[in-house]
Amino acid sequence: MNGKVPHIVQYQGSKRILAPQILQYMPQKFNRLIEPFSGMAAISIATAYEKRTDSFLINDINKPLVNLLEEAIENPKRLVEDYATVWNEQFSYGENHVQHFYDVRERFNDGDERPANMLYLLARCVKGAVRYGKTGNFNQSPDKRRHGTNPKTLEQNVHAIAYLLKGKTRFSALDYHEVLDMASPGDLVYMDPPYQGVTNVRDNRYFAGVPFEEFSQAIETLNRKGVDYLISYDGTCGGKEYGEELPESLHCKKVMLNAGVSSQSLLLGKKSITFEALYVSEALIPVYNMLPQQLSFLEAMA
């Protein structure tokens, strides 16, 4: 993947860094890319950048996030102007600019979910990490060391993303089952579900978790329909495994992707490498031509 692929803001859990590795396992051309758990749609953006399809379905159960993406893609100029208004407000607070974040967060939680407010919270919160409390309120704290992404920096990326995806994208905030029901042969589904899909584990980026058995059954339905898919799921870091492997009965190919040094391990004075699993649907396995070193790596990880 040559050049610099645009992104809106830092977003914890984004697959932006892993996108070049993930796209290796996609066909060069296909009908439509569907992201049921889009987050900030890093894979859709990267796929559009490589011109592998000109049709996208971006979905996330987090409706304000989807609204933000739709505004960025369909109305980039308006989003940047609205964001600049919110961003500049903080400087009227003087040294108490952190209070501005809490005021915007309160407005957002009281129902003012305009894309510019969502974007400001993402741009200013700690590690770009979306967090919601039990009541569904955004409860992440601000990064007190910085003011968030400058609107001029943001403008270039937002317009670049709009150029890639405008007029090609459908947006929704549905349960992932409803989105998978829309998938047909010729589509490619990329899924990065809430943390590992382990039964009864709630990922607080979302309002509900995704039980493991339920998710496995949904994948089996895609198999029966003949729909291709890629799934980011479990992984390892420092010898510790995270999440449960998908069942062998799904006949997926499991590939371990190098996600780099874990930032959490660095805080503990270590340099542990994180490997994230990518599951490749059976029909896609013959599609890619694996390099010899990739084969050796997979055999070593098996």
How are beta strands 253-261 and 273-280 bridged, if at all?
antiparallel
User: CB-based burial of residue 290 (10 Å sphere; 0-12 exposed, 13-18 middle, 19+ buried)?
Assistant: middle
- CATH number of the 71-156 domain: 1.10.1020.10
Residue 264 contacts by C-beta under 8 Å, 6 or more apart in sequence? Answer: none
- For 17-72, the pLDDT digits (tens) are 899 999 999 999 999 999 999 999 999 999 999 999 999 999 999 999 999 999 99
What is the percent of the chain with per-residue pLDDT over 70, rounded to a whole number? 84
Any idea what the Cα angle at residue 125 is, between residues 123 and 126, rounded to 5°? 120
CA–CA gap between residue 146 and residue 291 (Å, rounded) = 42
- Indicate if 71-156 has the same CATH topology as 19-63+172-301: no
Q: Encode pLDDT of 63-98 as tens digits.
A: 999 999 999 999 999 999 999 999 999 999 998 999
SS3 call for 248: helix
HSE toward the beta carbon, residue 184, CA cutoff 13 A = 3
Domain coordinates in residue numbering, the chain: 19-63+172-301, 71-156
- Alpha-carbon distances of 261 from 236, 237, 266, 272, 276, rounded to whole Å: 12, 9, 8, 6, 12
Q: What is the mean pLDDT of residues 265-292?
A: 70
CA dist 222 and 224 (Å) reads: 5
- As a whole number, the mean pLDDT across the chain is 86
Q: Which run of H or of E encompasses 33?
A: strand 32-35
Burial 44-72 (b: 16+ CB within 10 A, else e): bbbbbbbebbeebbbbbbbebbbbbbbbb
3.40.640.10, 3.40.50.10490, 3.90.550.10, 3.40.50.150: which CATH number matches 19-63+172-301?
Answer: 3.40.50.150
* Cα 71 to chain centroid, rounded: 17
Confidence (pLDDT) at 162: 98
pTM over 0.85: yes
